[in-house]
C-alpha cells in the first residue's frame, strides 16, 4: 500500500476518533480554562452601543488551545469574552492571528497566550460600517493553561482600545467550563454582529456541535442568523 494512502487512512481514522470523543467534549478548543471577570468599557464612536457606551459589565472569559497541543507547543489559541446582558449575552470569539495589516486577518499558531487575538472576519455596526475586533493580553498569561490564575485583557475595535477585561476570580470548575456553549452568531446585537458567508455557515456548525456534545445551545435567534448570512 502506498505511503500516501496509509497517511490518508491515518488522517481519516484520527478525525473519526476526534469526532467520537467530541460526543462529550468540544471538537475544537477542547482544552481551556474559564474565569469570571469584569469588562470596563471606555467608549469609542463606532455605531455599536457595547463599544461606544462607557459602562461596566460582568463577563465570563475562556482561554483555550484549538487542537489541544502540549504546554509550550504552538497551537491556534482561542479567547472568548461573554458579556452578560439583561436579555441576552454577547459572545465575542477571537483566535490568535498575525500582527500585520493583512496577516492579522489570518489564524496563526502561537506558543504563549501573551499575544494578539483577532475576530479574523468583519463585524458590522449599527451605522453599517465594518470593523475588526481584537484583544491583547496585558502582562503575562504564559504558555501553560494550568498556570493561568489571573489576567487582564484589552479589547480593541480596529486599532483603537475601547475596554479592558479583568479576571475577578480563579478558574471556574471544570464542569462549569464544559457546560459553556458559546455562539458568536446568535449571541450578538443588532448594532454589532459578524457578517459574511463564512460566518453564516458557522450558525449551523455551532448548533450541531453543541447538540452533539449534549449541552444546551443558545436560544434561537433567526433574525441574528439572517442578518449575518445576508451581510445586513
So where are the chain's domains?
29-229
* Spatial separation of the C-alpha atoms in residues 95 and 107, rounded to whole Å: 7
Burial of 101 (0-12, 13-18, 19+ CB in 10 A): exposed
- What pLDDT, on a 0 to 100 scale, did the predictor assign at position 50? 97
Question: Which residue bears the cell 500500500?
Answer: 1
Question: Which residue bears the cell 499575544?
Answer: 115
Who wins on pLDDT, 21 or 218? 218
pLDDT mean over 44-49: 97
Who wins on pLDDT, 170 or 232? 170
Band the pLDDT of 99: cuts 50, 70, 90. Answer: confident
pTM for the whole thing? 0.87
DSSP sequence for 139-179: S---S-GGG----EEEEEETTEEEEEEEEEEEEPPHHHHHH
pLDDT mean over 102-106: 81
Q: Which of 75-89, 142-156, 204-218 has the lowest mean pLDDT?
A: 204-218
- CA distance to 28, 87, 93, 126, 185, per residue, from 123 (Å): 22, 21, 12, 10, 11
Q: Which of 26-30, 114-118, 222-226 has the lowest mean pLDDT?
A: 26-30
Q: Does domain 29-229 have CATH number 2.30.40.10?
A: no
Band the pLDDT of 24: cuts 50, 70, 90. Answer: low
Band the pLDDT of 232: cuts 50, 70, 90. Answer: low
The share of the chain scoring above pLDDT 90, in percent, equals 57
Amino acid at each position: 500500500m502506498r505511503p500516501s494512502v496509509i497517511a490518508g487512512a491515518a488522517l481519516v481514522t484520527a478525525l473519526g476518533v476526534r469526532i467520537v470523543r467530541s460526543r462529550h467534549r468540544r471538537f475544537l478548543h477542547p482544552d481551556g480554562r474559564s474565569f469570571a471577570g469584569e469588562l470596563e468599557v471606555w467608549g469609542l464612536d463606532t455605531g455599536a452601543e457595547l463599544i461606544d457606551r462607557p459602562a461596566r459589565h460582568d463577563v465570563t472569559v475562556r482561554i483555550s488551545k484549538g487542537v489541544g497541543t502540549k504546554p509550550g507547543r504552538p497551537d491556534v489559541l482561542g479567547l472568548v469574552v461573554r458579556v452578560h446582558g439583561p436579555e441576552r449575552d454577547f459572545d465575542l470569539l477571537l483566535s490568535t492571528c498575525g500582527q500585520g495589516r493583512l496577516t492579522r486577518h489570518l489564524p496563526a499558531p502561537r506558543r504563549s497566550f501573551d499575544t494578539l487575538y483577532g475576530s479574523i472576519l468583519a463585524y458590522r455596526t449599527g451605522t453599517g460600517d465594518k470593523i475588526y475586533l481584537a484583544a491583547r493580553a496585558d502582562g503575562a498569561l504564559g504558555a501553560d493553561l494550568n498556570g493561568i490564575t489571573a489576567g487582564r485583557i484589552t479589547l480593541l475595535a480596529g486599532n483603537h482600545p475601547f475596554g479592558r477585561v479583568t479576571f475577578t476570580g480563579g478558574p471556574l470548575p471544570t464542569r462549569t467550563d464544559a457546560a459553556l456553549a458559546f455562539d458568536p452568531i446568535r449571541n450578538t446585537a443588532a448594532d454589532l454582529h459578524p457578517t459574511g458567508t463564512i460566518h453564516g455557515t458557522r450558525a449551523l456548525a455551532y448548533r450541531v456541535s453543541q447538540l452533539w456534545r449534549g449541552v444546551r445551545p443558545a436560544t434561537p435567534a433567526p433574525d441574528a442568523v439572517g442578518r449575518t448570512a445576508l451581510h445586513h
